[in-house]
């Protein structure tokens, strides 16, 4: 009798699934929350050697992260303001309205050590290697400064120019264009402590794996229509980790 636990010849089986791989990936998602693109520098995942400092990754669970390396190509699609109070992990406060008093409270408390508060620009991006729509949140002091580099790569529509004009803003230099490819790298900052900050540089390689336009527009619409939540329970997959970034 053969010692083999699997009979031979199974390589010639007919198709063993109904639907596409993308269909199964979609229904296997643990939640409807937008996955997060994060630059890791310190924190539990780095301490556990799940990802090296200075690399970008997508937290999957508390024990798993998709390591994308120290450089990623993205297509910035939209931006929104965001403030998060993480002190109570069971009741996380997320605010998207800069005129909300809670936004101002969180912004002020973010300057305090170990406050659990963050605020800044939240970007909707499309990442090349994974083909995923992700949130890239620049919620720390250093990342807020660097996030300004990304603004020029966002799409600019005639509606954006008209809105800026209506607000009395200077529109000199604003031109209609689509999203522009960006390479995100990291830079090590050395002071009393050391940490990594994101650096955005122009990417000359066009994206060839974009999903249909209707899907891109749907993701942008969903991203911009999100409502502030007084108490939001989010997946405990590392997305709520401030990683002690300065």
DSSP per-residue codes, 124-170: EEEETTTTEEEEEEE-SHHHHHHHHHHHTTS-B-HHHHHHHHHTT--
- Residue 20 falls within a domain, yes or no? no
Three-class secondary structure of residue 120 per DSSP: strand
The answer on pLDDT for 109 being more than 50 is: yes
Residue 89 near residue 101 (C-beta atoms within 8 A) = no
Lowest mean pLDDT among 3-12, 120-129, 159-168, 178-187: 3-12
- Residue 39 falls within a domain, yes or no? yes
Strand partners, 197: 187
Average pLDDT of the chain?
85
The answer on pLDDT for 1 being more than 50 is: no
The answer on pLDDT for 138 being more than 80 is: yes
Q: In the prediction, which pLDDT does 214 show?
A: 95
- Residue 18 falls within a domain, yes or no? no
User: Mind listing the pLDDT tens digit for each residue in 139-185?
Assistant: 998 899 989 999 999 999 999 999 999 999 999 989 999 999 999 99
Q: In this structure, what DSSP letter does residue 228 have? A: P
Give the range of the structural domain holding residue 149, as residue numbers without chain letter: 31-232
Residues 6+ apart with CB under 8 A from 172: none
- Residue 6 falls within a domain, yes or no? no
- Residue 157 falls within a domain, yes or no? yes
Q: Compute CA 51 distance to the chain's CA centroid, rounded to the nearest angstrom.
A: 17
Q: In the prediction, which pLDDT does 242 show?
A: 43
- Residue 82 falls within a domain, yes or no? yes
pLDDT band (50, 70, 90) for residue 190: confident
C-alpha to C-alpha distances, 21 to 24, 25, 26, nearest whole angstrom: 5, 6, 9
What's the predicted TM-score (pTM) here?
0.81
- Residue 24 falls within a domain, yes or no? no
Residues 6+ apart with CB under 8 A from 31: 235
- Residue 209 falls within a domain, yes or no? yes
The answer on pLDDT for 31 being more than 90 is: no
If one counts the domains in the chain, the total is 1
Q: What percent of the chain has pLDDT over 90?
A: 61
- In the block, residue with structure tokens 């000199």: 172
The answer on pLDDT for 228 being more than 70 is: no
Other residues' Cβ atoms within 10 Å of the Cβ of residue 120 = 20
Q: In the prediction, which pLDDT does 29 show?
A: 57
What is the rounded average pLDDT of the residues 180-191?
Answer: 91
- What sign for the dihedral angle of Cα 46, 52, 58, 64? negative
């Amino acid at each position: 009798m053969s010692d083999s636990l699997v009979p031979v010849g199974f390589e010639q089986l007919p198709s063993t699934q109904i639907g596409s791989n993308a269909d199964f990936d979609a229904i296997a998602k643990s939640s409807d929350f937008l996955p997060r693109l994060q630059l890791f520098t310190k924190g539990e995942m780095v301490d556990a050697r799940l990802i090296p400092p200075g690399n970008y990754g997508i937290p999957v669970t508390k024990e798993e992260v998709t390591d994308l390396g120290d450089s990623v190509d993205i297509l910035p699609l939209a931006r929104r303001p965001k403030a998060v109070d993480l002190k109570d992990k069971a009741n996380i406060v997320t605010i998207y309205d800069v005129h909300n008093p809670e936004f101002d409270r969180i912004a002020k408390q973010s300057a305090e050590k170990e406050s659990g508060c963050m605020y800044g620009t939240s970007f909707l991006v499309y990442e090349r290697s994974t083909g995923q729509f992700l949130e890239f949140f620049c919620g720390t002091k250093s990342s807020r400064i660097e996030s300004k580099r990304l603004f020029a790569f966002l799409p600019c529509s005639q509606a954006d120019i008209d809105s800026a004009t209506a607000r009395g803003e200077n529109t000199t230099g604003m031109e209609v264009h689509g999203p522009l490819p960006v390479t995100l790298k990291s830079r090590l900052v050395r002071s009393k402590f050391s940490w990594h900050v994101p650096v955005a540089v122009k990417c000359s390689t066009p994206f060839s794996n974009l999903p249909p336009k209707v899907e891109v527009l749907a993701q942008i619409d969903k991203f911009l229509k999100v409502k502030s939540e007084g108490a939001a329970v989010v997946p405990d997959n590392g997305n709520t980790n401030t990683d002690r970034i300065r």
